[in-house]
Structure formats: C-alpha cells, structure tokens
Amino acid sequence: MKRTVLRVTYCALFAIACMAMACGGGSDKPSSNSSNEAPSAGATAGLPPSKVKFEQLGVLADSLAPGAKTDPDAAKFATSVVEKSSPNIWYKLSDDNDAPSHSAWVDVDVKQNGTVIQHQRQIANLGAWRFVTLYWDYGCTGGACRAAFPPGDYDIEAKLLGTSEKRMLKFTITPEGGKTPAPVKLDNAGIAPAIVNGNPAATFVTSIRADALPRVAYHVTFGDTPGWVTATWSSKSKQIGDVQTNLIVPEQANKPDFWSWFTMPANKYEAGEYNVDLLVTATGEKRSLKFNVEAGPAQAARLLEVHTAPQLTSKGATPVANIFASKFDGWDTIYPVFLLQGDLGTREYAGVQWKYNGTVVREDWIPGSLLKDSTTLGWAAPTNPALTSRPDLRTGFPVPLPAGDYEATVTLLPSGESKATKFMVTKVIGATPTPAPTRAPAAAPGTPSAR
C-alpha cells in the first residue's frame, strides 16, 4: 500500500512583471493634464460606482516610457501610430485622500475585432501615471525576442476592478511605409497529446487519453504581416479558461517546419466532447476542432487546511501556527499555505484564486507534478512572488496592495474540492514600507526526497 504523506504546500502567485507580455510603470507626480477621450457612458451592471475615476487614458508613441523622468503630455496622445513606433498606453487615476485605499487594481485590455489579444493587470497608486507597453515577447534564436504590434484597428478598455468605473478608446496602428497588410492564414491544425519538434500531423488524434493533456498544433502561411492567432476552448458550450493568444512573426512563419501550440487550460477533464476554436483576429478566419477526452482515475489527494501567511517557510519545513495571519498591510507579501494529503496526478491541479472585495484579481493553477512527494516536501517557489506590493518600474516608488477585504481559495481539480480563507489588507499611505517581523518556522521532521 502506498504510504500517505501530509505536506504543506506553498503557492507563489504573481509572475514577475517583466515576464508578462506587457510591462507597466508610472510616476506618483500629480498632473493637471486632461484626457483626449471622454469617459464611457455605460456602467458595468451589478458593480458599485467608484469615487476614484480614470482622469487620463491615451496612446503615446514613446519608446522611452520605462525610463522617462517626466509625466506624459496628454496633448500628444494620438489615435493613430505607425507600425514599429513602440506605442504605450498611459492612464492616470484621480486622487482622493478619503478613498478606502490609496491604490487600486486596474485591468487594461487591448482588443482586435472584439477579441482580447493583450490583458494587463496592474496595481496603480491614486493620482499617479501608469503605462502599458504594446509589444509581444517570443522565443527565438539566442533566447527571447520582442515584436511590435502589427497594423490594424484596436480597442482599449481600462477598468477599475470591483467597480463600474471604466474608460474606452480606439486607436490604429498604420503599416510602415504605407504598405498594404498581408495577414497570416491558417494552413493546417490538429489535436495532439504531446508537443513534438517539426511537423506533428502524424500524431494528430480525435481522442485524448487519461494520462495526456489536450493540445492544439497549428501551422500558418505567412503573408509578410505579423498576425494574431487565438484559441478558445469549450465543453458543453461553456468556455474553459481565458482566450489564449499568440503573435506569429516573420522569423517563425518563414520556417516551413515551424508549428505553434496551445494547451487546454486546467479544468475538471470530464469525459466527453470538447472543442477548440482557432481565430485569426485580423481577418476573422476560423478553424474549429472537436475531440474527446477520456476520464481519468478518481482523485485520491485531499485538501485539509488553507491559511495565509506573510512569509514562506523553508522547503520541507512544518510551519508554526504563529506565522498564519488574517490581517496584513499593503506592504506585506501574502502567501497561501495549504495542507495536502496524498499525490496529485498528471491531469490534476491545485488552483489558487485571490478575490478582492468579491472580484477575482488573480488565479493560478499548479500542476500536480510540482506537488508530488518525489519533488519536495513542503514545496515552495521563491522565484515567483506571491500577492505582494511591487515597485513602479519607471520611478522605483513602491505601489502598495489595495486595501480591502480579500479571500484566498484553493481548489483541487478534477475533484473540485475547495477551501477558502478570508483576510484583510489595511490602508497605507507613503513610500516607506514597514518591515514585517520575522517568525522562525519549525524544522522539518525529515529530508525531502529527490526526484
């Protein structure tokens, strides 16, 4: 009989800002400039109004935003920029000393023909400028490369999370040198159980086994203009996860054996029929693929406890009770700490979801392979910061976590077993964090086994 092991699992959430598809920054200097775009007239149904407003929202062709020492000039905001001009989206929230929080969660979505092709979530100080740079990072020869957004018409939607406040504007990226855009076209696509090098067509299947993850491979013909391709997964007419996005660039598409891949988001993997829709956003070209998923074995792992703490313990350590907390300030780093019994399998995940005043602000899925006893006891990932304040990328000034009521929920998939814990973040004003006290964890009773 397999030995059952209890282990404490720590999940670190927020991915490092520069690894996201768009970086953001801003200053804390006040400005009297007015926006060139009127506020959206429509309010988001079911959400409360906000005293804090978007004072500014615009696009500026300025490649030096990350190192800019002065605030942007709203009079120079443009509705059209030239391809490869490195445009940035700038926005500024109104200031209000009586607001319940001196910072706020902000979403900035960029859409092409109604489809979100870039989503950026930031924490912004009230009365401060922030920016989102429009570029795409991709793997290339020698490491990572960066591509400019391709020509086309785009929509920007900026939202204050948990409220009805939002602003919208339109802008166009015109082709360099007046060229006529020649977008990509879908050439071939299929469902495959594993990523392979070269042409995967020989591995295409219509049914995915219980020990494999559904993936879609696709090949495009290149028409001289980079193009957005998205994937939307669904089951029983219900969308699974967010729309996935990829930008096909010349260096990739000019290789005849280059294929791109999307992997289906984590879900319950119930047996039955699934669907994935591939879309070229510039032209509306669409390819739909149907496939079946076999049911996996019943999930054996159990979720016993969920807590929040202002620090990680060492790998393999059992936390002492006094590291758990339900009240933090905006400078704290907050970790979810959860106790598991048993292992998670190949298609099994632990999901961690953060809610702020009832609105989801972060959600991550940790593959079961990272939580197995053979990897570590008391898994920790210190390279991925948890829910935390972070410095403004342009000025270096800290931006505290927005004050309010939070909830951390851990869910095991596919069983759906879930536990939650509530906590509070208190308001802070100023740029000097208060050092948090260090609490020493108890030593581990044994040494983690190596893989």
Instruction: Please tell me which of 5-9, 68-72, 123-127, 335-339 the model is most confident about, judged by mean pLDDT.
Output: 123-127
Question: What does the alpha-carbon distance between residue 442 and residue 280 come to, in Å, rounded to a whole number?
Answer: 54
What predicted TM-score, i.e. pTM, was given to this entire model? 0.80
What is the tens place of the pLDDT at every residue in 41-51? 334 456 677 88
Least confident of 108-122, 231-245, 362-376, 405-419: 362-376
Q: Where are the alpha helices (DSSP H) in 45-143?
A: none
Helix (H) or strand (E) holding 280: strand 272-280
Q: Where are the alpha helices (DSSP H) in 181-232?
A: none
pLDDT band at 181 (very low <50, low <70, confident <90, very high): confident
Residue with the two structure tokens 């106790």: 339
Residue with the two structure tokens 């004072």: 55
Question: What does the alpha-carbon distance between residue 373 and residue 316 come to, in Å, rounded to a whole number?
Answer: 10
Of residues 188, 168, 187, the one with CA closest to residue 39: 168
Encoded tokens for 277: 């829709």
With a CB cutoff of 8 Å and minimum separation 6, the contacts of 374 are 449, 450, 451
Is residue 328 within 8 Å of residue 426, measured between CB atoms? yes
Mean pLDDT of 201-216: 93
314 pLDDT higher than 50:
yes
79 pLDDT higher than 60:
yes
Mean pLDDT of 167-185: 87
List the beta strands (DSSP E) in 299-348.
302-309, 327-329, 333-341
Within its chain, how far is the Cα of 387 from the centroid? 13
Amino acid code (one letter) for 74 = A
Q: For 251, which DSSP code?
A: H
Burial of 97 (0-12, 13-18, 19+ CB in 10 A): exposed
8 pLDDT higher than 60:
no
Going 378 to 384 to 389 to 390, the CA torsion angle's sign is positive
**Cis (ω within 30 of 0) for the bond into 414?**
yes
Q: What pLDDT is attached to residue 45?
A: 52
241 pLDDT higher than 80:
yes
Q: Where are the alpha helices (DSSP H) in 218-278?
A: 250-253
Within its chain, how far is the Cα of 280 from the centroid? 22
Share of the chain above pLDDT 70, in %: 76
Q: What pLDDT is attached to residue 34?
A: 33
pLDDT band at 22 (very low <50, low <70, confident <90, very high): very low
Q: Where are the alpha helices (DSSP H) in 295-432?
A: none
Mean pLDDT of 257-278: 92
Least confident of 52-66, 119-133, 148-162, 227-241: 52-66
With a CB cutoff of 8 Å and minimum separation 6, the contacts of 193 are 203, 205, 208, 209, 212, 213, 214, 215
Least confident of 9-13, 173-177, 347-351, 396-400: 9-13
What is the tens place of the pLDDT at every residue in 86-109? 889 999 999 988 888 889 999 999
Is residue 153 within 8 Å of residue 112, measured between CB atoms? yes
What is the tens place of the pLDDT at every residue in 432-446? 444 443 333 333 333
Least confident of 23-27, 242-246, 270-274: 23-27
What is the tens place of the pLDDT at every residue in 395-404? 667 789 999 9
Mean pLDDT of 222-231: 88
Question: What does the alpha-carbon distance between residue 411 and residue 393 come to, in Å, rounded to a whole number?
Answer: 33
Burial of 300 (0-12, 13-18, 19+ CB in 10 A): middle
Q: For 394, which DSSP code?
A: T
160 pLDDT higher than 90:
yes
Q: What pLDDT is attached to residue 32?
A: 31
Amino acid code (one letter) for 106 = V
Domains within the chain, CATH numbers bracketed: 6-14+299-426 (2.60.40), 17-176 (2.60.40.1930), 185-293 (2.60.40.10)
